[in-house]
Amino acid sequence: MSDQNTTAMINILTPVHIGTGEKYSGLDYLIDEKLNQLFRLPTEGVINALGRNWTIYTEWLDQKFKEIESKIVGLDFKKKSKIERTELAKINLEIFCQTKGIDKDIFFSRSLYKLPCSKNLGTDKDISEFPKQAHLAYMPGSEIKGAIRTALLYSLLKHDSNIAIYEWLKTTIRNLPNIKIKIKKVEKKCQNIIKSEGNNSSPNKKEKGILVKELGKIEDELQKRLLRTKLFGGSDQAHFDILKFLQVGDGIPFTPADFLCICPVEPINTSKKFVNWQEFLVPGKSIPLSKIELNSHKSRIQDYLDKHHFSKLQQSYLSEGRLTQILQACYEFNKALLEEEIAFYGKPHIQKQTPKVIDRLKNLQETNTPTSPLLRLGMGQGYLSVTINLLFKQKEFELYDKVLIHATQNVSYDSEHGGPLPKTRRLVEYNGEIWPPGWIQLQMVEKKTDIFALPKSWSPLSFGDLSEAPVAKGVNTAEKEPEQSGELAPAKPELRPEYVILLNQAQRVDCVPQEFGGIMQKWQGLTECGEKRALAQVLLKKLEPLKLKKRDKLFDYKTLLQQFISEESKS
């Protein structure tokens, strides 16, 4: 099977959370206790549900914020922050409904989406979001490619033909403690920082940050030496990177309610106990990637690699324009990573706390194959999943133990002080059981248009209920009858997922110059005329009701769109 005719299914093996940095609080959701479901509510949904009485909500919020302000007047920053955190958690929609005697059922129909949740979630928690666009969730292709990059670095570094690079790396890390740094005009060796801040329960994060920065420089140079050619200074230019040939698209968007669940996350093997709540992709689901392929014909790749003198080893990962060696590298790295995890959970005191986790990891070992390898993504990846330090822990333990682990931002203990790092892990509770997070499998499959098909009733120019937007539903081999398309409603299943997302964004963009301008930039970047014309019509429909003056930026956008459609009509 040619790689140009394949893509990959992402099989979710354990709960997966991809962070966005965005969280929502108790003001943004309500819980139906009977169904154990969380309803995600935008502020406008709350206001619309209250109708003419919407001011009681804003007045209640105003009163609560004034009460907090009165409690923190005259306090120092530390006390202020503590009181604010405690009091803000008490301001949520559940309390509002109880205080004002409002039936919260009126809000449920206004929700963006609903998700299954644990009984002990409560209404005062902050919840970390999974990536979404236009209220559809998706798996970012960049997350997949980042995991592949780490595996490739591991594979390249351990190869015999790169022994010179490996020796350079060893020598450079061994000399890291001797590097002199100026701190507030005082010269200081990195060794002094390691001595004072390593094995320290309350390290100076600024000083440890210096070690992180110096190690980052070494890792950047390592990536250049392993992945790029040196010809014409190519090691300093990203377009001479062998991974420039690998294209990994986002996963096909899916409805949150079908694929996500809100789960608690807790650390183990630590005295500091806390719980975080996050949106997770649940085990047992499969999501098609929009693409994963080498982005050029194999002969063109080979000509480019030969012309720019990439090494034979580098070239082998792109052999005949196929992904075989890249998948093999992923298999080898995650095989080693799973062995490390099994060793950690095999410790008697850990196994006593989490007896089923080691069995899950052994099952993952059996699932990992050279043609359908495992990857670890997102929250819970840990220190060894996102760096090449796993190889040093295996082969150069003393350097790992005495130098590398201390070039981290937080607390770091070596083996003489209860370490080495990482000595903790995070686990997820899902369906009443404990899971190691982040494990997926890449399963290569033949491209089929029905994997990416849109529902027949959905049209890019007639945005209705978002439940009719394209979603990932797995592979369906049944033949579909071709849809008769009208002049303004092409119902072709070949619409690109990226374009579908853009259409949804355009329908919901506010007519504010900055936000509208972002959509316009994406519109100008479209190369397919049909897509560009359809999107222009959607954007014009948003602008037509507005009374715009010539000095308005939106007026310029409207003129540009009108000119484009006029020229298209003539041609």
**Residue 190 pLDDT > 80:** yes
> pLDDT confidence of 350, banded at 50, 70, 90?
very high
* Residue 211: other Cβ atoms inside 10 A: 25
- The residue that leads in pLDDT, 374 or 562, is 374
What is the arithmetic mean of pLDDT over 104-126? 91
pTM reported for the whole predicted model: 0.77
* Residue 411: other Cβ atoms inside 10 A: 18
For the chain, the average pLDDT equals 83
**Residue 514 pLDDT > 50:** yes
**Residue 493 pLDDT > 80:** no
Cα distance between residue 190 and residue 178, in whole Å: 6
Provide the terminal-to-terminal Cα distance of the chain, rounded to the nearest Å: 41
Give the pLDDT of residue 447.
Answer: 67
**Which range has the worst mean pLDDT, 56-65, 220-229, 396-405, 449-458?**
449-458
Secondary structure in 3-state letters for 469-485: CCCCCCCCCCCCCCCCC
Chain segment 275-329, per-residue pLDDT in tens: 999 999 999 999 999 889 887 666 677 788 888 888 889 888 887 668 999 999 9
**Residue 45 pLDDT > 70:** yes
Q: Report which of 495, 501, 540, 497 is spatially closest to residue 520, judged by C-alpha positions.
A: 540
What is the arithmetic mean of pLDDT over 537-557? 80
Per-domain residue ranges of the chain: 23-128, 141-187+204-446, 497-568
Chain segment 365-392, per-residue pLDDT in tens: 999 999 999 999 999 888 888 777 899 9
Q: What is the CA radius of gyration of the chain?
A: 27
- The residue that leads in pLDDT, 81 or 471, is 81
**Residue 545 pLDDT > 80:** no
